[in-house]
Every structure is written in structure tokens, then in C-alpha cells.
Structure 1
Amino acid sequence: MSERLPAHLEISSMIRLAETNGGFAMVLAKGERDAGTILIVSMFRGEDTRLYERMPQLDGTRPFVLTKSQDIEKPKEFDEYISRRRSQDPDIWVLEVDIDNPERFIALLPK
């Protein structure tokens, strides 16, 4: 049996974690219920948007890693990137989290 939590349970726990830390989280796209990849779009008060994805490490951990930041000069590029990812992999979950200190929130997530 896999040690990995089903994606829908992981998403639910992230939403609760954001809310208990004074933030707000919303599912933008539902993926495969049990094994879908999770992308986290983080921001604070709608600004400084960043994308985090799980990246497997050599030591077996799977931390969320910053993979893209929104360019203020080209705001649509960020949304287009997520749309491309979703078209390549329809099993992807996209969770948007608006919270003070998004980096601290990401650090709270299990690896």
C-alpha cells in the first residue's frame, strides 16, 4: 500500500490549513481523485502570485518547490502556463491559496 495520501484528502487538508492560518483557499481545477498531481497557486491579497509543485528529491521526499512567478508586465503568461499544464495532464489539481506569508504556508505542508 502506498504511503501517499489520496489527492482529494490532501487538498482538503490544505484548505483547512490555509483557513486556520487566516487565509483562503479554493480549488480552481479538480484532478484525479486519488493520484492527481497538485499545483498550488499562492498569493497575498491577490498579488505576488507564485506556483508551487511537488518535486521528488533523491532522498525520497516530495516537497513543494517554487516553479513559476507571475511577471507583472505579462500577467496572462502565468495563466497560460497553468492552462498548458492542465491540457498536458488532465489529472492535475490546482489549488489557489491567498494567505499572509505564502512561503511559511508551503513550509507547513508535509514533504
Structure 2
Amino acid sequence: MSQRLPTHVTVGALLRRVNDAGGLAVVRARGEPQGGAILLLIAEGRLVRGMERMRGLDDRDMLVPAGPTSGDVALVEDYWQARRQRDPDLWVIELDVAHAERFVAETIL
């Protein structure tokens, strides 16, 4: 069994770290505080891509691409809203910071 922190604690730590680094981290949708999944929307200029924390077969967390790969903001927006309708426990976090994947990996993996 893993010792994963509650989702709301993990999200709070990520928000603080990104904002302290001069970036912008915003909660687009709040999910279930204890065990909700986390979908990250990573802004890269005018493009946005999705990443999600997933549990691997070795019981370790990893980041995997999620949603449309085109980077089109409207497509990604439609994707996460549809996901949220199917999974109301889902947290959606938007990050706009240099080296966003590093912040995510250091904080939630």
C-alpha cells in the first residue's frame, strides 16, 4: 500500500512552490480532497498540454500525457471539462511557470 498524501495537501504544496518561483498556478476545478485525481494543464506560450499523475504497475507515481496533443487551447479546455463531467473528483490545475514538469515531479511524484 502506498503512502500518498491527500490530494488537497499535494495541490497546496504545488501551488505554493510554483507561485513562490514567480510562476502562476491556478486551481481550475477542485476535486475530492483525499483521493481525487490530478490533471495538470501546462501553459507553454500560446499552447497548453495536459499531464496526469498515474500509478504505474510498480506502484510508483508517474506523469503521463493527457488529452489532445495539438496544444490547441480550445481542444484542451473541452477535454478537461468533459473529463470533469465524468469524474467530479478530478482536480484541474493550470501551471504557467518555466520547467513546469520539474515542479510537478519534485512536488507530487
Q: Give the TM-score of the pair, scaled to structure 1.
A: 0.84
In structure 2, relative to structure 1, the CA distance for the partners of 1:107 and 1:3 (3 Å cut) is closer
Aligned residues: 109
Distance (whole Å) between structure 1 residues aligned to residue 14 and residue 96 of structure 2:
12
Structure 1: segments with no counterpart, 5+ residues: none
Equivalence for 1:27 = 27
Distance (whole Å) between structure 2 residues aligned to residue 69 and residue 15 of structure 1:
24
Q: Which moved more, 1:30-39 or 1:95-104?
A: 95-104
Q: Which moved more, 1:87-96 or 1:16-25?
A: 16-25
In structure 2, relative to structure 1, the CA distance for the partners of 1:51 and 1:16 (3 Å cut) is same
Q: Does 1:3 align with 2:3?
A: yes
Q: Does 1:43 align with 2:43?
A: yes
Paired residues of 2:39 and 2:52 also in contact (CA < 8 A)? yes
1:71 aligned partner, one-letter code: S
**Once the two structures are superposed, what CA deviation does each residue of 1:77-97 show, in whole Å capped at 9, x if it has no partner?**
211111110011000010111
Identity %: 35
- Aligned structure 1 segments of 4 or more residues deviating by more than 6 angstroms: none
The alignment's C-alpha RMSD in Å is 2.1
Structure 2: segments with no counterpart, 5+ residues: none
Match of 2:25, SS state, is strand
Q: Give the TM-score of the pair, scaled to structure 2.
A: 0.85
Deviation at 1:44, TM superposition (A): 3.5
